[in-house]
């Protein structure tokens, strides 16, 4: 969906210092461009780590973004709850929405059933982007969340598992 230059441009405009990530087949190819832009990539072993690492970065004065697939969102619910709601740390995330654009690899992928309800359940202020020409909304939504002092997310439609 989004090209590496589109993602990197958004992160640079947001002055992101660290990307805390577990890759998938959409997010992974962005990594080299992110690193080339001078943004530190922190690879975690599971997505639950990502929220607490990002919390520490934020408390230490950095500007992190969590970048994971929706399956990692499912995995990391309690960590997200603690960071975003107990501690109210305004972490922004980019979340890949597996199988949204097609289900050739995983017919009937239940990510389509649960991703948005889970985001709603965790009270994450998200915006779903499904077309490459919506890249400007990454920055727009992130800045709106930042100005409000709240967490938020962009959900990026993915075309394959």
Partner 1 sequence: MSGMSGRSAVEVVRRWRGPGDVVITTMGTARDWMAGPMTPLDVVLVPSSMGQATSLGLGIALAQPTRRVVVLNGDGSLLMNLGSLVTIAAAGADNLVVVVFANGVYEITGAQPVPGVGVVDWVAMAGAAGIRSAERIETLEAWEREAPRVLAGPGPTLVSLTIEPEAALAGVGPRSPGPAAARGRALREALTGG
Binding footprint of partner 1 on the chain (CB under 8 A): 17-18, 20, 40, 42-46, 48-62, 64, 78-79, 81-83, 86-89
- At its nearest, how many Å lie between partner 1 and the CB of residue 47? 10
Compute the distance between CA of residue 46 and CA of residue 41 in angstroms, rounded to an integer. Answer: 15
Strands in 92-97's sheet, in edge-to-edge order, are 40-43, 18-21, 64-69, 92-97, 152-157, 126-129
Tokens of 50: 């990502």
- At its nearest, how many Å lie between partner 1 and the CB of residue 146? 14
Q: Which is nearer to partner 1, 50 or 135 (CB)?
A: 50
- At its nearest, how many Å lie between partner 1 and the CB of residue 24? 17
Q: Which is nearer to partner 1, 90 or 159 (CB)?
A: 90
Compute the distance between CA of residue 80 and CA of residue 124 in angstroms, rounded to an integer. Answer: 10
Nearest CA to 109 out of 98, 120, 93 is that of 98
- At its nearest, how many Å lie between partner 1 and the CB of residue 138? 22
Q: What is the largest CA-CA distance in the chain?
A: 43
Q: Which is nearer to partner 1, 43 or 123 (CB)?
A: 43
- At its nearest, how many Å lie between partner 1 and the CB of residue 62? 4
C-alpha 46 chain-centroid distance: 14
Beta partners for 132? none
Q: Which is nearer to partner 1, 59 or 113 (CB)?
A: 59
Q: Which is nearer to partner 1, 49 or 125 (CB)?
A: 49
């Amino acid at each position: 969906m989004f090209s590496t230059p589109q993602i990197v441009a958004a992160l640079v405009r947001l002055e992101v210092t660290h990307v805390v990530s577990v890759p998938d087949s959409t997010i992974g190819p962005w990594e080299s461009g992110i690193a080339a832009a001078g943004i530190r990539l922190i690879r975690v072993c599971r997505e639950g780590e990502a929220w607490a690492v990002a919390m520490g970065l934020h408390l230490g004065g950095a500007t992190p973004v969590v970048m994971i697939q929706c399956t990692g969102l499912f995995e990391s619910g309690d960590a997200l709850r603690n960071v975003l709601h107990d501690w109210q740390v305004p972490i922004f995330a980019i979340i890949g929405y597996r199988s949204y654009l097609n289900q050739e690899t995983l017919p009937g992928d239940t990510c389509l059933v649960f991703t948005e309800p889970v985001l709603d359940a965790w009270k994450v202020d998200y915006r779903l982007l499904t077309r490459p020409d919506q890249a400007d909304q990454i920055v727009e939504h992130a800045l709106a969340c930042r100005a409000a002092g709240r967490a938020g997310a962009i959900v990026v439609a993915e075309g394959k598992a």
